[in-house]
Chains A and B, each alone.
Chain A
Amino acid sequence: MAALPRKVNRRRFLQTTAAASSVFGTFTIVPRHVLGQGQVPPSETFGGALIGVGGRGPGTYSEMCKGLNVKKLADCDVKFGDRADQKTVYTDFRRVLDRQDIDLIAIATPPHWHALISIAAAQAGKDVLCEKPMTRTLGEGRAVANAFERYNRVFQVGTFGRFGAYGNEQARLTHKIMRSGLLPKCEGVVIQRGGVKVRQWSGDPETKLAEVPPNLDWDLYCGPSPLKPFTPSRFGGSHRKWWDYDNGGLGDMGQHKFDPINWTWGKDDTSPVEIEVHAPPAHPEVTGMWGWVKLKYADGLTIVMDSGEWGEPFAELQPRDIGLNDLSEADQARLKALPDPEPLLSFGEAVKQRKQAGGHAEAAHRTVTLLHLANIAIRLGRNLKYDPVKEEFVGDEEANRLAYPPLRAPWHV
């Protein structure tokens, strides 16, 4: 396993001073959208851009703009070969990131581009709202979290269920108990049945090759993934059916389902240690059907993903919440004395206050890690052990090779 992205300790998202949106240019550029003590006046207008103008593009851009005054300055998509003017319409995201008048980037490309564009945007000083899933591979998630840590930029993944969880009293109590350290052994069991479109986003292994559409930059579309012959289903929404670009229904929808669970159960900074799988042999190129995956954390918390679309339903365990009764009376009193969970900031508020957004990079990475662990077990058809600190599988080289695959030059994390 070559060159894992460097691990960081707990995320230190600093709120210090102002932050500029450009690199140096003449080396004296004053931050345009950040004044005074790091606060942004309500009248301030941000320059915005959308990269990836497909089905999820408008929605992702709209989410990015909530609570902010944003002037759209650029649209970018690899299929805009016939209309790119290099002023407001682009095919190459790098030319969008060149612009110093753009502060905010909405990313709605297929997932194999999410990490690379997010990282490049952070390096160029932009804040990012990135469509789910955060990444296509496990290694990419760590690299995104590291980049946003290094440059202190705002990142929010395009799923918002954790904000709803924060508004739920029982979920807030669970979160508080889990984060309190008062529960050394967790007997919680979460079972998520269905809802991840497994068959819908499973691929057809027999597809016909075709000519690349004239407006499409196919090489740039493939980007970090292997350059394969064009077939229509590799592009335009059905990319979800190919391991080269996404991870099937679980990869694509799972961040919606499991992000609120990850926050509720206080797992924004760790990952499971054991993965057990029930699935048929997987195809090397197209995503497919699976039955269930059981993921267990070191503290005992168990999360079950049951597709509800193949094989017998998972029946080994029943869901189990935790509550005050899981604590001694003395610990209940200690819990009461602890502060309640802090409110989660929306992307807009995070940008204005220069603070961490609710669905920040480290948290998003830990949620998407659940999906990657499950999908790698599905692909290998075997149970796995995982080290959530080193972020490596234990004793399974092939699993690590799937977690950290080589990217196609010049793209790398």
Chain B
Amino acid sequence: MNAELNALIARLPEGGTKPPQDAQPAREALQQLWSQCPAAVPELVALLQPAATGGDARVRLAVHNLATLASAAQDQERAAFCKALAATLQADHPADVKVFVIQQLQLCGGEEVSPALAALLADANLGEAAAQALLAIEAGAAAAYRQALPSANERMQLVLVQNLGMLRDTEALALVRPLVASEDQQLRLTAAATLGRIGNSIADANTLLALARREQGYAQGKAVDACFDLAERLGELGKDAERRQLLGELASLGKGNYVSQAAERQLAATK
């Protein structure tokens, strides 16, 4: 173990209720650690402990604050740090240590680490964290999600379908449309929300309206909201006739209630 690295980590606070009296020495120690990166990254990550073991508060604070420094650095330096961090995902570390590393990449990572994260989407322990980091990074995320979706388990289906909607990935339409008919209510509502964000046709509107008519209570509210999202999207696409048709259908549902009033307000706002 690099003694200098250890000495620098010892100069850091644990954080939380145990701050340093003066921030400056801690910030200087972080700068010195940063000057040893990316070479020091594997050694730093090796010091991280699984949550059940603990005792690594200073190391966690160090890795996290290095990620923060990386995010403000020149892009070449940032990318080199992130690549080194991503490379530790190939090493033999406990799963929750790797999750912590992925969560730091979620803050500072760029396209240089997308392939490494995409490769983890099928991993039972790391897939969800990798998907969230990719969503923050964006670059390469949608293609990776689309590739992973057909073979994903139930949990990851939810994650991937939701995240495709967050990215407004229109290339996912063919994958998402059938899932609105899923027997799993969570999946079909998640797919509906995504279709509301990426749909582009009156056929999509009819799919969502049919779901809104079928569902009850909380689920109906979610399906209706997807319809309103799609109406906005149709407007953004310049498909005003389709948008008005969808809003007209929403306005006719439950005359006088808050949903029809919401639709009528949107129709009136663009007359």
User: Which A residues contact B (CB, under 8 angstroms)?
Assistant: 1-3, 6, 14, 16-25, 27-31, 94-95, 97-100, 120, 123-125, 147, 150-153, 199, 202-209, 226, 228-229, 241, 278-289, 310-311, 379-382, 396-398, 401-402, 405-406, 408-410, 412
Q: Which B residues lie within 8 Å of A379 (CB)?
A: 68
Asked whether B242 is an interface residue with its Cβ less than 8 Å from the other chain, the reply is no
In the assembled complex, the Cα of A225 lies from the Cα of B161 at a distance in Å of: 18
Q: Which A residues lie within 8 Å of B104 (CB)?
A: 284
Contacting B16 at CB < 8 Å: which of A2, A100, A204, A381? A204
B6 nearest CB across to chain A (Å): 18
Q: Contact between A123 and B16 (Cβ–Cβ < 8 Å)?
A: no
Tier of interface size on chain B: 35 or more
In the assembled complex, the Cα of A95 lies from the Cα of B225 at a distance in Å of: 18
Q: Kindly identify, within residues 168 to 200 of chain B, every residue whose CB is under 8 Å from any CB belonging to chain A.
A: 168, 186, 189-190, 193, 197
5 A-B pairs in the complex with CB atoms less than 8 angstroms apart: A23-B220, A125-B259, A207-B54, A226-B132, A382-B68
Contacting A151 at CB < 8 Å: which of B166, B255, B258? B258
Q: Contact between A209 and B52 (Cβ–Cβ < 8 Å)?
A: yes
Q: Contact between B166 and A406 (Cβ–Cβ < 8 Å)?
A: yes
Asked whether B18 is an interface residue with its Cβ less than 8 Å from the other chain, the reply is yes
Q: Contact between B262 and A283 (Cβ–Cβ < 8 Å)?
A: no
Q: Contact between B135 and A409 (Cβ–Cβ < 8 Å)?
A: no
Extra pairs beyond A123-B218, A151-B262 (18, CB < 8 Å): A2-B163, A3-B165, A19-B261, A24-B253, A27-B255, A94-B219, A123-B222, A150-B262, A278-B23, A280-B20, A280-B26, A284-B60, A284-B61, A289-B17, A382-B72, A396-B72, A406-B132, A409-B190
Nearest to A399 among chain B residues (CB) is B71
Q: Contact between A3 and B258 (Cβ–Cβ < 8 Å)?
A: no
Q: Which A residues lie within 8 Å of B261 (CB)?
A: 16-17, 19, 152
In the assembled complex, the Cα of A376 lies from the Cα of B197 at a distance in Å of: 28
Q: Contact between A205 and B16 (Cβ–Cβ < 8 Å)?
A: yes
Q: Contact between B107 and A206 (Cβ–Cβ < 8 Å)?
A: no
Known contacts A120-B222, A280-B13, A410-B189, A229 near B258 by CB under 8 Å? no
Q: Which B residues lie within 8 Å of A205 (CB)?
A: 14-16, 18, 57, 60-61
Q: Contact between A281 and B217 (Cβ–Cβ < 8 Å)?
A: no
Among A24, A207, A310, A397, the one with the most B-chain Cβ atoms within 10 Å of its Cβ is A24
In the assembled complex, the Cα of A29 lies from the Cα of B256 at a distance in Å of: 8
Could you mark each residue 197-230 of chain B with 1 if its beta carbon is under 8 Å from any beta carbon of chain A, else 0? 1000000000000000100111111101100100
Q: Which A residues lie within 8 Å of B15 (CB)?
A: 205, 281-283, 286, 288
In the assembled complex, the Cα of A17 lies from the Cα of B256 at a distance in Å of: 9
In the assembled complex, the Cα of A345 lies from the Cα of B42 at a distance in Å of: 58
Q: Which A residues lie within 8 Å of B129 (CB)?
A: 226
A408 nearest CB across to chain B (Å): 8
Contacting A405 at CB < 8 Å: which of B14, B136, B193? B136
Q: Which B residues lie within 8 Å of A29 (CB)?
A: 254, 257
Q: Contact between A203 and B217 (Cβ–Cβ < 8 Å)?
A: no
